[in-house]
């Protein structure tokens, strides 16, 4: 454990990959620790069409792989492992992983957020048997069949558009009377003849036999209940920040997201946070990438200050 990394990046999604590239280009020893596949939530994107400079649509996997290779080309290192804890000891962080301890002068937490479950009766029972949280992963299993999508944000609308290319019909169930998604995306959903929307409605129950067969819908205004036949229920009702490794005492907001300043610094000096894990008004690939770049730049400045090399 003698080697002390300049910058350990926990999480290999958009924020982590961007941070790795910028840190390596700044001549920092940068190590990315990712327990799953590099790319994070970007891997679920069917078509990345609104990223500046990418005129031809690209899938999330291809984009993430290019980011990974680019970071490696600048000298960033990658490690497949799980981070169990982060503890600051003096001016050095001890990062405990499933493969042993590591040390770093600065740490970036870019572990993102995971899909939240809706708490619908039957949701857990049929998880993996018709209930899903990833359209690109599981949508192809339901080609030509009716599908229900729960939610009204960017993710729900984006995934409904993808599923509409596969399903016989897509029914969106949203508890409000309008989408909270970006206007252009919402307009595209409303203009798609393969998608219908049940406004001010919720699902009381998901039922079936060996797989999902139907849902019980309730209109929140009239109280009317109806049964809708469906082969699958895709749930997109927000996300939960992945903060299991966050040191105790680091400031978070009421929803559990990490609070940072504009330099991506947390309340613990030397610990940075970027991407979907932090408090931000907008969670997109482009904002995660920007967060990662800012975090790497400011981590380099922080290290210079520790070593008395800061430029004034």
- Is 134 catalytic? The answer is yes
- The catalytic position among 6, 59, 138, 276 is 138
- Is 158 catalytic? The answer is no
Query: CA–CA separation, 144 vs 131, rounded Å?
Result: 17
- Is 137 catalytic? The answer is yes
Q: What is the DSSP string of the chain?
A: ---EEEEEEE--BHHHHHHHHHHHHTT--EEEEESS-TBGGGGG-S-B-SSTT--S-B-HHHHHHHHHHHHHHTT-EEEE--EEEEEEETTEEEEEETTEEEEEEEEEE---EEEPP---TTTTTTBTTTEES-HHHHGGGGTTSEEEEE--SHHHHHHHHHHHTTSSEEEEE-SSSS--S-HHHHHHHHT-TTEEEETTEEEEEEEESSSEEEEEEEETTT--EEEEE-SEEEE---EEE--TTPPTT--B-TTSPBP--TT-B-SSTTEEE-GGGB--S---HHHHHHHHHHHHHHHHHHHHHHTT----
Distances (CA, A) of 187 to 21, 51, 64: 36, 19, 28
Q: Residue 60's closest CA among 130, 131, 158?
A: 158
- The catalytic position among 6, 46, 134, 209 is 134
- The catalytic position among 99, 137, 177, 304 is 137
For 11, what's the count of Cα atoms within 13 Å in the CB-facing half-sphere? 32
- By annotation, the residues acting in catalysis are 134, 137-138
């Amino acid at each position: 454990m003698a080697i002390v990394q300049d910058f350990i990046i926990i999480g290999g999604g958009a924020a982590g990959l961007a941070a790795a590239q910028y840190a390596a280009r700044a001549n920092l020893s940068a190590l990315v620790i990712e327990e799953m596949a590099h790319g994070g939530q970007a891997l679920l994107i069917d078509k990345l069409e609104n990223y500046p400079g990418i005129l031809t649509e690209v899938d999330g996997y291809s984009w993430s792989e290019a980011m990974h290779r680019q970071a490696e080309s600048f000298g960033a290192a990658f490690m497949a492992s799980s981070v169990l804890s982060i503890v600051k000891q003096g001016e050095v962080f001890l990062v405990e992983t499933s493969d042993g301890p590591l040390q770093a002068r600065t740490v970036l937490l870019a572990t993102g957020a995971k899909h939240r479950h809706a708490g619908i009766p039957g949701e857990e029972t049929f998880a993996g048997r018709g209930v899903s949280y990833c359209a690109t992963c599981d949508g192809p299993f339901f080609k030509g069949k009716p599908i229900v999508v729960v939610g009204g944000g960017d993710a729900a609308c984006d995934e409904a558009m993808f599923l509409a290319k596969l399903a016989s019909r897509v029914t969106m169930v949203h508890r409000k009377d309008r989408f909270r998604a970006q206007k252009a995306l919402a307009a595209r959903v409303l203009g798609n003849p393969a998608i219908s929307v049940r406004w001010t409605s919720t699902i009381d129950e998901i039922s079936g036999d060996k797989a999902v067969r139907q849902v019980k819908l309730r209109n929140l205004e009239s109280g009317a209940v109806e049964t809708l036949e469906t082969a699958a229920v895709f749930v997109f009702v927000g996300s939960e920040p992945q903060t299991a490794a966050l040191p105790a005492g680091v400031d978070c907001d009421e929803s559990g997201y990490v609070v940072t300043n504009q330099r991506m610094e947390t309340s613990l000096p030397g610990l940075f946070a970027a991407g979907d894990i932090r408090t931000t008004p907008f969670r997109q690939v482009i904002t995660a990438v920007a967060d990662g770049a800012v975090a790497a730049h400011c981590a380099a400045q922080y290290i210079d200050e520790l070593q008395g090399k800061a430029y004034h």
